[in-house]
């Protein structure tokens, strides 16, 4: 028996891929505080009817078998809502997984992804995991994007991919559809519109799908569908996109429980999303209450959260010490002094407003 060569430093950890060396893992704090308004979930749990029906359906699942790889029942149910064939709908573990799959399928080291700033922090992170270089285009001073600016961005950078959240996060503002169209028509790119919040307001690009051959629209069950504890998102697209995503998805990527839960949610869509109108009204109430505070600038929002700016440098900590957790953007480029608050239950929002008044 011959021993292998002595390893120089057997206890050394394996270095991570060099292009991931500086990465900070994604993650808003999950702290146990009284009022958690930092991750844009819906404050009310899904209705009892959903849990009851799901519990019944779980009885019939064959968990000793792999799940349906195509998630056909779920995709068919989703497709029906949009008048599309199921071949044009894809589903995965949250819209973040779908975005990663899109970047894996269409990105890579030799292809650029165009993102806007301020934008969603997970987009550049997913791009990095998919080894896809990012070019960043700045939104204007009001955090808006005009059609002419959109056309110039893609003309300047010639990206292979464009990804914008609409309504945008963390600003809450809508990117008008002419800007989406300009991103498409002045580029060769796959244009991804991330509509995580569209049920709360704004303008959906779904109506443009048939007109714009390289447009895809990504949706999630994590926000308006109040199922963030599930991991489920879906994509509306052309059928060739689904063919390509099947090349990068993991075998049996979407488990049987998630598929079933999604199907039951779609069956009970009216009940599951029944709170959306009230939540949008609550958002408008919270907006006006914030706007009425001295020293607070708040942006208009079409989503279930509000971005606001103050001159109090430690406002995040002051709110936290009063049991209110919001999202801190105050040291980020373009967002100096900004915090983002998720619209919660009226009592949670009142607690936030009271903490604001004490902290300012
Ligand atoms: C919350 C959010 C999502 C949701 O991601 P999931 O993986 O579906 O939970 C997607 N995009 C944006 C912009 C978001 O803010």
Residue range 55-110, pLDDT digits in tens: 999 999 999 999 999 999 999 999 999 999 999 999 999 999 999 999 999 999 99
The alpha carbon of 220 and the centre of ligand 1 are apart by a number of angstroms equal to 7
Q: Are residues 106 and 33 in the same domain?
A: no
Q: What is the CATH number of the domain that holds 248?
A: 3.40.640.10
Mutate to test the pocket of ligand 1, among 223, 253, 258, 261 (most ligand atoms within 8 A of CB): 223
In a domain, 96, yes or no: yes
Residue 2: is its pLDDT beyond 70?
no
User: Do 122 and 221 fall into the same domain?
Assistant: yes
Find, among 234, 237, 216, 215, the residue nearest to 225 by Cα: 234
Pocket probe for ligand 1: among 125, 168, 194, the residue whose CB has the most ligand atoms within 8 Å is 194
pLDDT score at 201: 96
User: Is 1 a member of any domain?
Assistant: no
261-310 tens-digit pLDDT:
999 999 999 999 999 999 999 999 999 999 999 999 999 999 999 999 99
Q: Count CB atoms within 10 A of the CB of residue 184.
A: 24
Which residue's CA lies nearest to atom 14 of ligand 1?
196
In this structure, the number of other CB atoms found within 10 A of the CB of residue 31 comes to 9
The residue among 239, 271, 303 that closes a domain is 271
Q: How many CA atoms lie within 13 A of 297 on its CB side?
A: 10
| Structural domain containing residue 343 | 28-44+275-359
> Which of 202, 220, 253, 301 has the most ligand 1 atoms within 8 A of CB, as the residue to mutate?
220
Q: What distance in angstroms lies between residue 169's CA and the mean position of ligand 1's atoms?
A: 9
Q: Residue 22: pLDDT above 80?
A: yes
Domain presence at residue 171: yes
Q: Which residues are registered as beta bridge partners of 191?
A: 162, 215
For residue 210, give the nearest of 83, 64, 297, 337 by alpha carbon.
Answer: 83
Q: What are phi and psi of 256, to 5 degrees?
A: -65, -35
pLDDT at position 86 is 98
Mean residue pLDDT of the chain comes to 96
- Report CA(266)–ligand 1 centroid distance (Å): 19
pLDDT tens sequence across 25-70: 888 889 999 999 999 999 999 999 999 999 999 999 999 999 999 9
232 and 262 housed in the same domain: yes
Give phi and psi for 280, each to the nearest 5: -65, -35
Among 248, 271, 294, give the residue marking a domain's end: 271
* Ligand 1 atom nearest to CA at 228: 9
Is 225 a domain residue? yes
pLDDT digit string (tens) for 189-205? Answer: 999 999 999 999 999 99
Give yes or no: residues 140 and 209 share one domain.
Answer: yes
- Please indicate, yes or no, whether residues 167 and 218 belong to a single structural domain of this protein: yes
Note whether 188 and 259 are same-domain residues. Answer: yes
Q: Residues 149-155: what's their mean pLDDT? A: 97
Does 6 score more than 70 pLDDT? no
Residue 88 shares a structural domain with residue 160: yes
Beta bridge pairs of residue 306: 341
Mutation choice for ligand 1 from 38, 169, 170, 229, CB with most ligand atoms inside 8 A: 169
Measured from CB, residues less than 6 Å from any atom of ligand 1 are 40, 94-96, 120, 165, 169, 194, 196, 220, 222-223, 233
Task: Tell me: do 67 and 127 sit in the same domain.
Answer: yes
In the chain, the number of structural domains is: 2
Within this chain, do residues 37 and 68 fall inside the same structural domain, yes or no? no
DSSP track, 103-121:
HHHH-STTS-EEEEES--T
Domain boundary among the residues 271, 293, 308 is at 271
Residues 263 and 335 in one domain: no
The answer to whether residues 264 and 305 belong to one domain is no
Q: Are 258 and 231 in contact (CB under 8 A)?
A: yes
Q: Which DSSP symbol is given to 146?
A: -
Q: List the one residue out of 309, 300, 301, 290 whose CA is nearest residue 350.
A: 290
Tell me whether residue 12 is in a domain. no
Angstrom CA distances, 77 to 83, 221, 235, 265, 327, stand at 10, 14, 13, 10, 35
| pLDDT reported for residue 27 | 81
Alpha carbon of 4 to ligand 1 centroid (Å): 48
């Amino acid at each position: 028996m011959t021993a292998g060569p002595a390893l120089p430093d057997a206890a050394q950890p394996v270095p991570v891929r060099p292009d991931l060396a500086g990465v900070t893992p994604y993650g808003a704090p999950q702290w146990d505080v009284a009022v958690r308004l930092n991750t844009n979930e819906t404050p009310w749990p899904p209705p009892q009817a959903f849990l009851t029906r799901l519990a019944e359906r779980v009885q019939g699942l064959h968990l000793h078998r792999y799940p349906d790889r195509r998630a056909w029942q779920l995709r068919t149910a989703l497709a029906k809502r949009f008048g599309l064939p199921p071949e044009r709908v894809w589903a995965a573990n949250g819209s973040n997984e779908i975005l990663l799959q899109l970047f894996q399928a269409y990105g890579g080291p030799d292809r650029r992804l165009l993102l806007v700033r301020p934008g969603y922090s997970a987009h550049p992170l997913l791009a990095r995991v998919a080894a896809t270089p990012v070019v960043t285009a700045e939104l204007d001073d009001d955090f808006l994007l005009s059609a002419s600016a959109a056309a110039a961005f893609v003309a300047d950078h010639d990206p292979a991919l464009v990804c914008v959240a609409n309504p945008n996060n963390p600003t809450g503002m809508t990117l008008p559809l002419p800007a989406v169209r300009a991103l498409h028509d002045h580029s060769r790119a796959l244009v991804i519109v991330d509509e995580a919040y569209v049920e709360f307001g704004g303008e959906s690009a779904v109506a443009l799908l048939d007109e714009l051959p390289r447009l895809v629209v990504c949706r999630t069950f994590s926000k308006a569908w109040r199922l963030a504890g599930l991991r489920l998102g879906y994509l509306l697209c052309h059928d060739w996109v689904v063919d390509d995503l099947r090349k990068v998805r993991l075998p049996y990527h979407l488990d049987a429980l998630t598929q079933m839960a999604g199907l039951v949610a779609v069956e009970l869509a009216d009940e599951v999303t029944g709170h959306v109108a009230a939540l949008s009204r609550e958002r408008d109430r919270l907006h006006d209450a914030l706007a009425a505070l001295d020293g607070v600038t708040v942006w208009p929002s079409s989503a279930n959260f509000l971005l606001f700016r103050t001159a109090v440098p430690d406002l995040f900590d002051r709110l936290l010490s009063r049991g209110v957790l919001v999202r801190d953007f105050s040291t980020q480029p373009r967002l100096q002094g900004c915090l983002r608050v998720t619209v919660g239950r009226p009592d949670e929002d009142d607690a936030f407003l009271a903490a604001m008044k004490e902290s300012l």
